[in-house]
């Protein structure tokens, strides 16, 4: 044998290295996938806004009051008009600023929409790392908007 044949890698060594990389990827990929990305955070904000807009539209169409339930401790939002519900992942900070009363009644953690399109208002903030999306419901017009903002430092 010459010294030249001792350089390089054998096929067996290459297969072992590839197998180790594959095992590491199999262990690490599920851990990475559990974290909400910026795109997913934006998608959650759009889903919340869509659910709120749907409840408002149904309130106008049916000429009846509809209340969307916002349960921040359990990280859920439930439509008052349909059976639709949204769950926000644990790694996303979920804050809700809701009215205490609405038309002289206790609001009970809801955003209410009325037949005339108005609302008692409210805001839901979804934050992950350095990105926050705030879904705001205007009390006078019932208009729903998504505002992207920097998180407030504590």
Residue 76 lies in a domain: yes
Residue 136 lies in a domain: yes
Residue 109 lies in a domain: yes
> What is the mean pLDDT of the segment spanning 89-116?
89
Residue 24 lies in a domain: no
CA-based radius of gyration for the chain: 25
**Does residue 85 sit in helix, strand or coil?**
strand
pLDDT digits (tens, 9 = 90+) for 32-56: 656 888 889 999 999 999 999 999 9
pTM of the model: 0.75
Residue 22 lies in a domain: no
Residue 105 lies in a domain: yes
| Domain around 100 | 38-149
Indicate if the alpha-carbon torsion angle 119, 121, 127, 131 is positive or negative: positive
Q: How confident is the model at residue 68 (pLDDT cuts 50, 70, 90)?
A: very high
pLDDT at 3: 58
Mean pLDDT, the chain, as a whole number? 87
The enclosing domain of 42 has a CATH number of 3.55.40.10
Residue 61 lies in a domain: yes
> What is the mean pLDDT of the segment spanning 71-87?
92
Residue where the block lists tokens 């002289």: 104
């Amino acid at each position: 044998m010459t010294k030249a044949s001792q350089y390089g890698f054998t096929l067996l060594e290459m297969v072992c290295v590839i197998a180790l990389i594959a095992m590491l990827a199999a262990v690490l990929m599920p851990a990475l996938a559990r974290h909400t990305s910026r795109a997913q955070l934006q998608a959650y904000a759009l889903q919340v806004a869509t659910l709120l807009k749907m409840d408002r539209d149904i309130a106008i169409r049916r000429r009846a009051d509809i209340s969307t339930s916002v349960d921040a401790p359990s990280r859920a939002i439930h439509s008052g008009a349909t059976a639709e519900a949204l769950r926000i992942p644990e790694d996303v900070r979920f804050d809700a600023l809701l009215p205490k009363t609405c038309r002289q009644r206790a609001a009970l953690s809801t955003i209410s929409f009325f037949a005339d399109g108005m609302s008692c208002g409210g805001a839901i903030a979804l934050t992950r790392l350095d990105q926050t999306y705030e879904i705001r419901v205007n009390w006078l017009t019932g208009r729903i908007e998504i505002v992207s903002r920097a998180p407030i430092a504590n």
